[in-house]
Amino acid sequence: MRQASSSRRDLPAGILPCQAIEALIAGGAVAADQPFDHDQVQPASLDLRLGARAWRVRASFLPGRGRTVRERLGDVAMHALDLSSGAVLEKGCVYIAELQERLALPPGISARANPKSSTGRVDVFVRLLSDHSVAFDDVVEGYHGPTYVEIAPQTFSILVRPSSRLNQLRLKRGVPPRLSIRSVGVDLTDGIAGFRARRHAGVIDIDYEDGHDPRDYWEPLVPRRGELLLDPGEFYILASKEAVEIPVLQAAEMTPIDPSVGEFRVHYAGFFDPGFGAAETDSVGSRGVLEVRSHETPFLLEDGQTVARLVYEPLTERPTRLYGESGSHYQRQGLKLSKHFRVWD
């Protein structure tokens, strides 16, 4: 036993790459009733799939130590939804949905979840829940049990069904060190520099790619004198001033809010996989797309102003595939809406 513990301590701390995630699936540490999809494992994360049941709840919650999510649902659930034929989740409401994936994490392995890029870009706020958890999105070392997701559409109502993917899981060994923290500025140069969501648009089918007319959902924004005024409560899509590059042996997460740079939230979906914008997979560079919501007061953004920070962490080993190698909606991106929309022309 002491030898095994010593061996674990000798292993490098870091984010697990795709081949390590696949090994956990093969060993039963990550399991599901349905077979895993061929593209579900990303270079340094695992897409999570909705199950067949969801509940409309009157309040968000954390189960807390000693209680399960199902036990807490009994206190806050208003009614159940069957997702098997598809269901619309209404904006302004909060839902808890079962996920197909369940975990039996080995000692030394923990996890953290985040919304997928396409989820954040349509202003759907999602957070992972696990039994006995005291924090959203974080799964403790050695956790055995089911997983759930809280879903709160903010601007658009969405159509979902079993196997819809709204969030993703990053697995890690130990406590990865922070290798660097980099500031991210906003691009407010001439021309269309962003989009503001239309509040009374139609439903977005979360699984329908390249099929929605962006003009029905978004208003283009042209800054004046390199400035953009954010209205409280409105949702914006903007782009980073600088290209973002994630080295092949690292992964990154964009901090969702930093009060020191302004009273607004940036980036609901914060994971960047190894190879994003890197020379090995992307010869022209990629910018980060920023999901921005101002809080209580109007806020005047200026071109180049710091709006977020990227935190870089090491992988335990080089992934066997990199972001964008086999195609991606967001590699080589500039200002870009989610994959649900046709290209703005």
* Domain boundaries, given as residue ranges, for the chain: 2-173, 180-314
> What per-residue confidence (pLDDT) applies to 293?
87
Checking if the pLDDT of 324 tops 60, the result is: yes
Give me the amino acid identity at 213.
D
Checking if the pLDDT of 295 tops 90, the result is: no
pLDDT in tens, 141-177: 999 999 999 999 999 999 999 999 999 999 999 999 9
Q: Name the residue with higher pLDDT: 24 or 264.
A: 24
Please give the structure tokens belonging to residue 164.
Answer: 């819809």
- Backbone φ/ψ region at 108: left (φ over 0), alpha (ψ -120 to 50), beta: left
The proportion of the chain whose per-residue pLDDT surpasses 90, expressed as a percent, equals 75
The residue-averaged pLDDT of 325-341 equals 78
For residue 289, the cross-strand partners are: 239
CATH of domain 180-314: 2.70.40.10
Checking if the pLDDT of 310 tops 50, the result is: yes
> Lowest-confidence range among 35-39, 94-98, 277-281?
277-281
> What per-residue confidence (pLDDT) applies to 297?
86
pLDDT in tens, 238-259: 999 999 999 999 999 987 666 6
Q: Name the residue with higher pLDDT: 269 or 214.
A: 214
pLDDT in tens, 73-83: 999 999 999 99
Q: Name the nearest CA neighbour of 207 among 161, 153, 152, 168.
A: 161
Provide the mean pLDDT of the chain.
90
> What per-residue confidence (pLDDT) applies to 267?
64
For 115, 149, 188, 225, 250, the CA distances from 45, given in Å and listed in that order, are 11, 16, 31, 40, 12
Q: Name the nearest CA neighbour of 277 among 323, 327, 326, 329.
A: 323
pTM attached to this predicted model: 0.93
The residue-averaged pLDDT of 89-107 equals 98
> What per-residue confidence (pLDDT) applies to 33?
87
6 by DSSP, 3-state: which?
helix
> What per-residue confidence (pLDDT) applies to 326?
66
pLDDT in tens, 109-125: 999 999 999 999 999 99
The residue-averaged pLDDT of 264-291 equals 79
Q: Where are the beta strands (DSSP E) in 231-286?
A: 235-243, 250-254, 264-266, 271-272
* Alpha-carbon 41 to chain mean position: 14
The proportion of the chain whose per-residue pLDDT surpasses 70, expressed as a percent, equals 91
Matching fold, domains 2-173 and 180-314: yes
Domain 2-173, what fold? Deoxyuridine 5'-Triphosphate Nucleotidohydrolase; Chain A (2.70.40)
- The residue length of the chain stands at 345
